[in-house]
Structure 1
Amino acid sequence: MNFVWTSVTLVLPLALLIILSNVVNNRRRRLPPGPAAVPLLGNLAWLTITDGQQFMATLRSFHARYGPVIALRFGSTLEVSVADRRLAHTALVQLGAAVADRPLLASHDLLGHNSAFTITSSNYGALWRLLRRNLVAEMARLRLFAAERERALADLTHRLGCRKQGDEAIMDMFQHAMFCIFVSMCFGQSVDEHAVRDITAALRQLMLYSTTELNVFVFVPAITTRVFGGRRRAMDAMRSRLKDLYLPLIDARRRRRLLQEAGAGNDDDTMFPHSYVDALLDIRLNHDGGRGLTDDEISALCSEFLSGGTDLPSSALQWTMAELVKNPAIQDKLYREIRAVTGGDKVSEEDLQRMPYLKAVVLESLRRHPPGHQLVPHAAAADVELGGYVIPKGATVNFLAVDFGLDEVVWERPMDFVPERFMPGGHGEAVDVTGTREIKMMPFGAGRRICPGLAVATLHLEYFVANLVNTFEWQEVEGMEVDVIAERFDFSAVMKKPFEVNLVARAEKC
């Protein structure tokens, strides 16, 4: 008992002294204000949060108390949160590269993350520019895969038309359709259903494990990586599993290339003329002796390509269709536009350019329900002044992006779903979704790190929304009303209540 009291009398004053010292140092350096942090652990209030909505509510309460720029600590990491759209524009656009890095966590090296770099995780610099430029070039070849989009759509509409309540979730169907398209774009071939399902399951397992089980390594990683070594081994096993699934597809592109170089041609009708993997095989790292990418690096970039092209667009598609169910007048207006353009035929990609109300519906959905409520964390490359405070070099910087599209100063009735605001004469007509001029909504980020797949995501959303409305009338199920308010956080913000609808075929499909 004496030992306990002695420990308390020694440790408690030391902890208070550290907290007081941090407060004094923060004021001296003009760091943003924020709640008191416990040494080593950081903001304990955050550690007890398990629900995404509660997390966001706590973050907003901190901003309401301390201001638009606040500082929080996760372990030894300083994170600055920005909740003002003008300050976000200053940081992301006007300051350019100053906050375009990614946080460097000690756990990355210890966990081997740096051996599997991606565009998302790379710091702003030569490597990032090379990888991003390569991806943007691939997005420009999008038209090469129009047939795959059409095939995925046909499969989806068939499944939806024959679906009964209690069958596969509609969100899962959306994800599968998007994933099939991106698997074809990634590996340059039609992959059978079983293989697609295997890759999907393995990738989602790794992503879920990474987002739920690895946060412990933020706290004293030199110790936690030893205490929780089983988690590290489990993650390595999941990576190896994905690599084993990818390699036969990657090697098939290598063999195709060798055959072409030998003039032997290729009569495999499941192969497409180009793929993302082809571009990755062409990359040479000049900063590293001109070498090509390793299989681990190619696998990591393939995972990034597949997950980025699937989860966020699928979530956005679900929210859009849910809002059309809740707002049948809007759905009817959209259907009339589709009929006027197509004359009753299916919607082609060329038809989309003649559908302004469709574009307004998609923009309103992205404003009201951005799939990512925060951006992927940025990091300050040097000391940066923002809003009268100093963000120190290396600090993590994040932005409360979802609130920018709900700002009552900018948007009239921001919680309502009103596509007309993006039509001619509407106050959202001239909104720059890229945030270059100013930030009023930010579904794809802004500045140097803006999503390189913006055009692809928009095309897929418009294409699927138009064809799904053209094929079915989406009706609410009595007793299972659609809830467009409650959210849960998976890899993106999705509907908390399962999405159930009555689908009435506009014409007989099954």
Structure 2
Amino acid sequence: MEINSWLVLAGALLLSLLVLRRRRAARNSRLPPGPPALPLFGNLLWLRHSAADVEPLLLKLFDRYGPAVTLRMGSRLAIFVSDRRLAHAALVGSGAVTLANRPQAATSSLLGVTDNIITRADYGPLWRLLRRNLVAETLHPSRVRLFAPARSWVRGVLLDKLRAGGVAGDDGATPGDAMEAFRYTMFCLLVLMCFGERLDEPAVRAIEEAERAWLLYISHEMSVFFFFPSITKHVFRGRLRTARALRRRQMELFVPLINARREYKQQLKEGHAAASETTFQHSYVDTLLDITLPDEKHRHLTDDEIVTLCSEFLTAGTDTTSTGLQWIMAELVKNPAVQERLHAEIVATCGGEDDAGEVPEEAVHRMPYLKAVILEGLRKHPPGHFVLPHKAAEDMDVGGYLIPKGATVNFMVAEMGRDATEWERPMEFVPERFLEGGDGAGVDMTGTRGIRMMPFGVGRRICAGLSIAMLHLEYFVANMVREFEWKEAPGHEVEFEEKREFTTVMKKPLRPRLVPRRT
């Protein structure tokens, strides 16, 4: 009798295991397909490929498995989507809220860096507070206009850098790297907007170097912590030490500027603030110093949180814009007919070469071809080939695929903008497609009506800086084309091979020959 009881119990247990396995198999069969994986480790392909440079691998996997692919990185399940219709269903349709969260970066807990920033906070009260503050207090059109003098100053800095840096290629000299000029001047502008102070070049360079070192190290050297962080944090202790040192350098540079702004705000309040040509009355830091967190007894943000938010602000506005400028100007070098049509529009709107001064901001809104050039550059060469990853708050169905709770979901921005089923001659630079009658006319950049290109993302987590990014691209491209004719320099021909840094840049830097248009 006792033996029979044990047999019944063993049979029941075996049956339960079989049912559980069948349910798990059925659940996994609804996931997007992907290459074989091992428990705990994930896909075997990580033995031959780096998780930090996954795009070339993904393009092969999409050809093999279809428009959605599942990869496993250690215990993490990541889904990659290249189809614009699936992306619209997930980010704008029924999954808009469910997929509005962010996965926690493995390095956040390992390095003690806060996730209380706009790009990494989960969808909820804190995220809404931080985003509303940025949009209303810094990116609102009325606030953006306050920084028009800063953009005019940076325009002068940029043109001087292009002239003095050897970019003109006079006397047979090697032209300079245009991207370096773009990155430095955009960083000058964002530092001023962030801290309210026009710093000298050594101070800007120090902040730029610290910020860039931190970002590149986090992007390229920390992906090993996707796998068994409880173990890899001991194996790769040196990487963590380096990252902590880079973070301390950020704090050393940012905190004095934040404290200076605290003092300036206090002086304004007391009516003792002295006027200065280098100090602006408004900055992003000012708004962060005023924030209190209702869910945490109305405490103010810590210096650590403010530094991280400032880092986010500088990165979001510098690398993406400078990368966009690099690709757009490279296309204008390679397509002189497009450049001349754009120059003709600028002259018709603002006057000829004999007229001194800049292309004013209000004028760029009256140039449809300029906007078409910018849109075509963002379609063909989006600075980010992925949007920031999303995380499913609960199980969801997208196009018949299961996206389980906690899964990370990534969307292939470049693939959507280059989709040959959606765009005619997608790998050609044709700004006319965005004019009336073209296949891109009236494109919806927000993706509300459907996704055709999404360089700024779409849905609840769309980039808050879309409007100011377009303004900066239009304003600086117009002024550079008015000032110079951009040509290929012998021995430095334009090549469109890509290289992934924090954004996707030109592997061979743009080194043009610039011919002044005005005497």
Normalised by the size of structure 2, how large is the TM-score? 0.90
Does the CA-based 8 Å contact 1:379-1:396 persist in structure 2?
A: yes
Cα separation, 1, equivalents of 2:76 and 2:414: 24
Paired residues of 1:104 and 1:394 also in contact (CA < 8 A): no
Task: Give the drift of 1:228.
Answer: 2.0
The verdict on how the C-alpha distance between 1:105 and 1:458 changes in structure 2, with shifts beyond 3 A counting, is closer
Matching residue of 1:67 = 66
Give the residue type in structure 2 aligned to 1:78. Answer: L
The structure 1 residue matched to 2:247, chosen from 230, 239, 249, is 239
CA distance in 2, matches of 1:437, 1:404: 15
The 1:179/1:415 distance shift into structure 2, 3 A limit, reads same
User: Counterpart in 2 of 1:142?
Assistant: 144
Instruction: Report whether the alignment pairs 1:452 with 2:464.
Output: yes
Match of 2:380 in 1: 368
Query: In 2, Cα distance between the equivalents of 1:412 and 1:150?
Result: 37
Partner letter of residue 201 of structure 2?
A: E
Aligned to 2:266: 258
Find out whether 1:290 has 2:298 as its counterpart: yes
Q: Where does residue 440 of structure 1 map in the other structure?
A: 452
Q: Give the corresponding residue for 1:342.
A: 350
Greater Cα shift, 418-427 or 220-229: 220-229
* Contact persistence 1:376–1:398 (CA under 8 A): yes
Does residue 492 (structure 1) correspond to residue 494 (structure 2)? The answer is: no
Provide the C-alpha distance between the structure 2 equivalents of 1:438 and 1:133, rounded to a whole number of angstroms: 25
Cα deviation, residue 216, structure 1: 1.4
- 1:284/1:51 CA distance change after superposition, 3 Å: closer
Q: What SS does structure 1 have at the residue aligned with 2:429?
A: coil
Whether the 8 Å contact between 2:323 and 2:383 is mirrored in structure 1 is yes
**SS in structure 2 of the partner of residue 354 of structure 1:** coil
RMSD between superposed Cα atoms in Å: 1.8
Structure 1 counterpart of 2:56? 57
1-structure distance, mates of 2:154, 2:274: 25
SS at match of 2:89: helix
Counterpart-to-counterpart distance in 2, 1:57 and 1:298: 36
Q: Does 1:124 align with 2:128?
A: no
Distance 1:256 1:278 in 2: 9
The number of residue pairs the alignment matches comes to 485
Does the CA-based 8 Å contact 1:116-1:296 persist in structure 2?
no
Alignment correspondent of 1:83: 82
Aligned-partner Cα distance in 1 for 2:265–2:241: 35
- Aligned residue for 1:233, secondary structure, equals helix
Give distance in 2, aligned partners of 1:377 and 1:351: 37
Within 1, Cα distance between the matches of 2:21 and 2:508? 43
1:15 maps to none
In structure 1, stretches of 5+ residues that fail to align are 1-20
Identity of aligned pairs, percent?
53
- Which whole-Å CA distance do the structure 1 matches of 2:175 and 2:489 have between them? 15
Q: Which residue of 1 aligns with 2:223?
A: 215
Query: How far apart, CA to CA, are the structure 2 residues paired with 1:347 and 1:105?
Result: 42
Pick which of 160-169 and 380-389 moved more: 160-169
Which residue does 2:14 correspond to in 1? Answer: none
Q: Distance in 1 between matches of 2:119 and 2:454?
A: 17
Q: Equivalent residues in 2 for 1:85-124 (5 A)?
A: 85-94=84-93, 95-104=95-104, 108-113=108-113, 115=114, 117-124=116-123
- Cα shift readout 1:340-399 (whole Å, capped 9, x = no counterpart): 001134200011011100000000000010111111111001101012121111100001
2:475 corresponds to 1:476: no
Q: How far has the Cα of 1:457 moved from its partner? A: 0.7
- Which residue matches 2:13? none
Local SS of the residue matching 1:502: strand
**Could you tell me which of 199, 202, 226 is aligned with 2:234?**
226
Quote the residue 1:14 is aligned against: none
Residue 160 of structure 1 aligns with an amino acid whose one-letter code is L
Amino acid at match of 2:190: F
Task: Please give the residue correspondences for 1:280-319 in structure 2 after superposition, counting only pairs within 5 Å.
Answer: 280-319=288-327
Mapping of 1:308-457 within 5 angstroms? 308-344=316-352, 345=355, 346-457=358-469
**Equivalent residue, structure 1, for 2:31:** 31
- Preserved contact between residue 96 and residue 459 of structure 2 (Cα < 8 Å): yes
Alignment partner, residue 169 of structure 2 = none
Structure 2: 5+ residue stretches without partners? 1-19, 167-172
- Greater Cα offset, 91-100 or 355-364: 91-100
Q: Distance in 1 between matches of 2:21 and 2:466?
A: 41
- Give distance in 1, aligned partners of 2:280 and 2:25: 57
Deviation at 1:111, TM superposition (A): 2.8
Q: Distance in 2 between matches of 1:489 and 1:411?
A: 24
Q: Which amino acid aligns with 1:39?
A: P
**What are the Cα deviations for residues 266-306 of structure 1, in whole angstroms up to 9, with x where unaligned?**
23332111000000001000111100000000000000000
Report the Cα distance in structure 2 between the residues aligned to 1:505 and 1:291, rounded to whole angstroms: 54
Once residues 267 and 199 of structure 2 are traced to their aligned partners in structure 1, the CA distance between those partners, rounded to angstroms, is 21
Question: Post-superposition, which runs of at least 4 consecutive aligned residues in structure 1 deviate over 4 A?
Answer: 21-24, 165-168
Deviation by residue 1:61-90 (Cα, 9 ceiling, x = unmatched): 212222222211011100011111001001
Tell me the secondary structure at the aligned position of residue 123 of structure 2: coil
1:28-63 residue CA offsets vs partner (Å, 9 max, x unmatched)? 3422211001333222324533598x7323212212
Task: Give the TM-score normalised by structure 1.
Answer: 0.92
Of 68-77 and 272-281, more deviation after overlay is shown by 68-77
Q: Distance in 1 between matches of 2:492 and 2:163?
A: 19
Determine if the alignment matches structure 1 residue 501 to structure 2 residue 512: yes
